[in-house]
Amino acid sequence: MDAILLQILNGLDKGSAYALIALGLTLIFGTLGVVNFAHGALFMIGAFCAVTLQRILSLSFETIDESRTDFLGNPLKVETPYVEAWFGPDVGMAIIDWSVPLAIFFAIPVMITIGFIMERGLIKHFYKRPHADQILVTFGLAIVLQEIVKYFFGANPIPTPAPDVFRGSFDFGVLLGFDPYAIAYPYWRLVYFFFSVTIIGAVFAFLQFTTFGMVVRAGMADRETVGLLGINIDRRFTIMFGIAAAVAGLAGVMYAPINSPNYHMGMDFLVLSFVVVVVGGMGSLPGAVLAGFMLGILESISSMNEVKAIFPGIDQIIIYLVAILILLTRPRGLMGRKGVMED
């Protein structure tokens, strides 16, 4: 029982990442009708926003310590971060320590700008092209973005730790009457789950309770009629692309302490996120979120040794198996709307 609970918790944070990426994918598909294969790269760029801010905050000046030597026997160059010199060692170290949460504020404008540039500079030229063309161009763009990041940051993962206060794990075992540490769950993964729920709630609230969101929803339902009412729906959809990019970016920023960012991390999530979108129902925002969490939990449970003893290799195929089953029984996905991608 404790093992199942632990895997459900695991699935929640994995599902959080799937849900956030799938939410952005669905926003772009629902508004612009574009299948954006570069969305995983936006997640990756978000994680590298955290890396970049960490490096900016760690910018240092050199002093020579004659009493010590480096690996070549030369006097040691000691690097002191500027923030430590300006604000004192304690405050300076605390600022660097909190670089990941601070990167949220750094990533939002960066990601919205990247989203605007992507949409205006490239993707808008492919609105009327077949989905295959859109997939090819956005996939190509994803590879270009990956290679740019690799050029500047290298191929190896870069450690981007969470603040010290979130190190370690929360002991759910004792709380639920199990043995101590039977269900231990990392603090930062809990933070990630609650952060994701907050972002998802904020996006839904924005679409549901603002005039802007109402127009966007109307445009998603019937773009032509909204246009005939004299509303510039294209401009609003461009803004939605920026918001979707920011959602993916924020998912990446907060994911950085979970797995050290590397240039390829977006691709690792991309395919699964597309399956999540299809299972949830093309164009359905609640469907994307529901499918994200559902598939995340199923993937985690299927990787239990007891399950794999019965069905070897099930953890590798469970998501695709569930996708096939759902599409056979509900061809539009869990919450898909009639008419989306059916023309």
Partner 1 sequence: MSTSNPTRRGLLKTGAIASAGLAVPTIFTASSAAAFTNEPTGSTVTLGFNVPQTGAYADEGADELRAYELAVEHLNGGGDGGMMSTFSSQALNGAGILGKQVQFVTGDTQTKSDAARASARSMIEKDEAVMITGGSSSGVAIAVQGLCQEAGVIFMAGLTHSNDTTGKDKKANGFRHFFNGYMSAAALAPVLADRYGTDRNAYHLTADYTWGWTQEESIAAATEALGWNTVDKVRTPLASTDFSSYIAPVLNSGADVLVLNHYGGNMVNSLTNAVQFGLRDRIVNDKQFEIVVPLYSRLMARGAGANVAGILGSTNWHWSLQDAGSQAFVRSFGTKYGFPPSQAAHTVYCQTLLYADAVQRAGSFHPCAVAEALEGFDFDGLGNGPTHYRADDHQCFKDVLVVRGKENPENEFDLLEVVEVTPRAQVEYAADHPMFAGGALGECNGG
220 or 258: whose CB is closer to partner 1?
Answer: 258
d(CA 106, CA 41): 17
The whole-angstrom separation of Cα 159 and Cα 320 is 31
> What is the C-alpha radius of gyration for the chain, rounded to an integer number of angstroms?
22
Q: Would you say 24 and 244 are in contact if contact means Cβ atoms under 8 Å apart?
A: yes
Which residues inside 52-71 make contact with partner 1, applying CB under 8 A?
68, 70-71
The answer to whether residues 84 and 93 touch, using CB atoms and an 8 Å cutoff, is: yes
d(CA 107, CA 94): 20
176 is a contact residue toward partner 1 (CB under 8 A): no
Q: Which is nearer to partner 1, 170 or 204 (CB)?
A: 170
- Residue 188 is a binding residue for partner 1 (CB under 8 A): yes
Minimal distance, residue 229 CB to partner 1, in Å: 46
Do the Cβ atoms of 252 and 45 come closer than 8 Å? Answer: yes
Residues 131-150 that bind partner 1 (CB under 8 A): 150
Query: Given the complex with partner 1, which of 237 and 293 has the nearer CB atom?
Result: 293
Query: In the bound complex, what is the minimum distance in angstroms from residue 310's beta carbon to partner 1?
Result: 15
Q: Does residue 100 interact with partner 1 by CB under 8 A? A: no
Q: Which of 120, 340, 108 is nearest to 202 (CA)?
A: 108
The phi-psi region of residue 181 (left if phi > 0; otherwise alpha if psi is between -120 and 50; otherwise beta) is: left
Q: How far is the CB of 169 from partner 1 (least distance, A)?
A: 4
Q: Which is nearer to partner 1, 134 or 300 (CB)?
A: 300
Min dist. Cβ of residue 185 to partner 1 (A) = 8
* Of positions 10, 16, 99, 196, contacts partner 1 by CB under 8 A: 10
* Helix 265-280 vs helix 39-57: crossing angle, to nearest 10: 140
Within 304-343, which residues bind partner 1 (CB under 8 A)?
304-305, 315-316
Q: Which helix (H) or strand (E) holds 47?
A: helix 39-57
Burial class (CB in 10 A: 0-12, 13-18, 19+), 162: buried
Task: Give the shortest CB-92-to-partner 1 separation in angstroms.
Answer: 18
Q: Which is nearer to partner 1, 43 or 241 (CB)?
A: 43
| 249 is a site residue for partner 1 (CB under 8 A) | no
Tokens matching residue 214: 């109402």
CA distance 118 to 116: 5
Exactly one of 149, 191, 215, 265 binds partner 1 (CB under 8 A); which one?
A: 265
**Stretch near partner 1 under the rule CB under 8 A, chosen from 4-12, 21-29, 113-121, 237-245:** 4-12
In 10 A of CB 239, how many CB atoms? 17
DSSP for 4-69, written as a single string: HHHHHHHHHHHHHHHHHHHHHHHHHHHHH----TTHHHHHHHHHHHHHHHHHHHT-EEEEEEEEEE
* Contact flag: residue 262 with partner 1 (CB under 8 A): yes
Cα 303 off chain centre by: 22
- Count of residues of this chain found to bind partner 1 when the rule CB under 8 A is applied: 44
Is 119 a residue that touches partner 1 (CB under 8 A)?
no
Among positions 88, 89, 159, 331, the unique one binding partner 1 when judged by CB under 8 A = 159
C-alpha 342/C-alpha 258 separation (Å) is: 38
2 binds partner 1 (CB under 8 A): yes
Which residues of this chain interact with partner 1, rule CB under 8 A? Answer: 2-3, 6-7, 10-11, 13-14, 68, 70-72, 150, 154-159, 161, 168-169, 181-186, 188-189, 258-260, 262, 264-265, 268, 299-300, 303-305, 315-316
